[in-house]
Amino acid sequence: MELASCLPLVGIPVVVAGFALRFNPLLVVTAAGLATGLAVGMDIGVLLETFGEKFLNSRQLATFILILPVIGLLERYGLKERAQQWIAGIRSATTARVLMLYFVVREATAALGLINLGGHAQTVRPLLAPMAEGAAANRLGDLPEALRDRIRAHAAACDNVAVFFGEDIFIAFGAVLLMDAFLKENGITDVEPLHIGLWAIPTALCALLIHMSRLARLDASLQREVAAWRARREVSA
């Protein structure tokens, strides 16, 4: 293989090394893009122009410029505390039930193409995680920090899993269209996006059932861990 044909791949080791050394991900990706562009002979002006164009065309621009500051302002004025107080007023609410409800709603809306209705920045951090923690604190009392981190991890996992398996049902989703184009390029023309979406439904249902079974055991697990934590505190006291 000629050296010139490998130059576009120079960004890969930059990404691997940067992530391995735990540098800032945005800095690593930017450095990899610059290294790749310069390696293939792009003019620095054209390279920077390309970066700016892609940034302005990115759908994530609204998330960084609009959503995050708004969420930060709401958090500063007590959004998390209000969410915890509200969920504490619902006697039947538990951590597992809150997460189960969110998972079902999130997967169903993702299947309809409404991906941006939820997300880590706009829903999980300011609302879902505090509500799940509030439900646990309402039933179990004071919680250790490690247990709070575990609840937050479950909240984040609910969003990830629900979106990952739900979005493939929506036939206009980019991954579905990519699979359809790939199949047609390789001579498989009898598969339509609708077929791909329909065959994604069993997988989404399996993900739903598996995750529900995990969450069904969460409340009992939290209760055991809180009891063990309190016993250790009493012994150490």
Which of 64-68, 69-73, 126-130, 147-151 is predicted with the least confidence, judged by mean pLDDT? 64-68
19-64 per-position pLDDT tens digit: 888 887 778 878 888 888 888 788 888 877 777 776 656 555 555 5
pLDDT bin (cut points 50, 70, 90) of residue 148 is very high
| pLDDT for the residue 105 | 95
* Contacts for 178 with CB less than 8 Å, ≥ 6 apart: none
**What is the Cα–Cα distance from 205 to 110, expressed in whole angstroms?**
13
| pLDDT for the residue 118 | 83
- The stretch 219-234 carries a mean pLDDT of 90
- pTM higher than 0.85 for the full model? no
Range among 43-52, 78-87, 221-230 rated most confident? 221-230
Among the listed residues 114, 112, 207, the one whose alpha carbon sits nearest the alpha carbon of residue 160: 207
| pLDDT for the residue 61 | 54
| pLDDT for the residue 147 | 93
pLDDT bin (cut points 50, 70, 90) of residue 66 is low
Where do runs of H (alpha helix) occur along the chain? 3-6, 11-20, 25-39, 44-57, 61-62, 68-76, 79-88, 95-111, 129-140, 145-166, 174-185, 193-216, 218-236
**What is the Cα–Cα distance from 47 to 120, expressed in whole angstroms?**
31
153-195 per-position pLDDT tens digit: 999 999 999 999 998 888 777 777 777 787 788 888 787 888 8
User: Do 108 and 123 touch, CB atoms closer than 8 A?
Assistant: no
101-138 per-position pLDDT tens digit: 999 999 999 999 888 888 888 889 888 999 999 999 88
What residues does each domain of the chain span?
3-57, 79-236
